[in-house]
Amino acid sequence: MRTIFLLLITLMLFGCATGQAIRGEYDPPMVVEKSKVKEYDTVPKPKQGKIVVAVYKFEDKTGQRRPTSAVSSFSTAVTQGAEMFLIKSLKDVGNCEWFDVVERVGLASLTQERQIIRQMREAYDGADAKPLMPMKFAGMLIEGGITGYDTSTRSGGNAARMLGIGPSTKFSEDVITVSLRAVSVNTGVVLAAVNVQKTVYSTADSLAVLKFYDKGTQVFEFESGLTLNEPATLAVKAAVDAAVVELIKEGERKDVWDFAETQEKK
């Protein structure tokens, strides 16, 4: 009977403990805040029309490895393909009205394929072979990378136990820093540069029960927990999206480009 009573108390406290991960102070935030999504989609159009840009690379410059408790890990803490996020973000920002991105990440493959087409046309048509259209060049380079991954910048928790029974909650925060700059191809001058940080949350809720009964000759022990980790890859994507928006704002402040709606109001 006593064991059944302990099990019932355990289930009740476990429900309260796991509920803290959803309702508590340390809730994992949405990967992209609604305000940021709205701002990303509603950035005013550029006055001069779409800007042709090129992205050669967007690397992880942190050298940070994924944290492990027992063994050495060669897996990186953040994605090594962040340039894909940057290209997608540049294409889609402001309802696809801001940038035309030319292929440079796979430039070797693109050049080789064009060479194959040129050779095939010359083999079939000879001197009358139709030439390929010239590749489009970019007037601006978008450079940068993931420049920081700081672990456990803030951590803590709380616990409460009575008669050896009670829940506990722990949390920790990591910070990802993304840097982005726009460089003029004509002059090599850095036209605008921004740094954006994104917090990555982790929460852990657990419940522990430790009871002695039958005059201390028998022990009942129970432990259960739930850990929630915000995916670092999605945090990188959110930081890249925010950096693109901030780069557009910085360019407008420094007269690199103008907003069409702002000009109409003037």
**What H or E segment, with its residue span, contains residue 116?**
helix 107-125
Percent over 70 (pLDDT), the chain: 77
Please, which residues bridge with residue 52 across strands? 100
Burial of 74 (0-12, 13-18, 19+ CB in 10 A): exposed
Q: How many CB atoms lie within 10 A of CB 58?
A: 24
Q: What is the DSSP string of 27-65?
A: PPPPSS-HHHHHHHH-PPPBTT-PEEEE----EE-S-PB
In which band, very low, low, confident or very high, does the pLDDT at 160 lie, cut at 50, 70 and 90?
confident
For the chain, helix, strand, coil in percent to 5 are: 35, 35, 30
Give 100's contacts (C-beta < 8 A, 6+ positions apart).
Answer: 50, 51, 52, 53, 136
Q: What is the pTM of this model?
A: 0.74
Sign, CA dihedral 261-264-265-266, equals: positive
Q: How many CB atoms lie within 10 A of CB 27?
A: 14
**Which pLDDT value is given to residue 69?**
52
Q: Given a cut of 50, is residue 219 above it in pLDDT? A: yes
Q: How far apart are CA 189 and CA 134, in angstroms?
A: 26
Q: How many CB atoms lie within 10 A of CB 171?
A: 21
Q: What are the domain boundaries of the chain?
A: 2-265
**Model pLDDT for residues 237-258, shown as the tens digit of each residue:** 989 999 999 999 999 999 999 9
Mean pLDDT, the chain, rounded, equals: 79
Q: How far apart are CA 124 and CA 204, in angstroms?
A: 67
Q: How far apart are CA 249 and CA 103, in angstroms?
A: 25
**What H or E segment, with its residue span, contains residue 221?**
strand 218-229
**Model pLDDT for residues 65-96, shown as the tens digit of each residue:** 666 555 444 456 777 888 999 999 999 998 89
Q: Are 228 and 28 in contact (CB under 8 A)?
A: yes
Segment 232-241 shows an average pLDDT of 88
**Model pLDDT for residues 166-198, shown as the tens digit of each residue:** 888 888 888 889 999 999 999 999 999 999 988
Exposure on the CB side of residue 31, measured as CA atoms within 13 A: 12
Q: Are 157 and 206 in contact (CB under 8 A)?
A: no
Looking at the domain that runs over 2-265, which CATH code has it been given?
3.40.50.10610
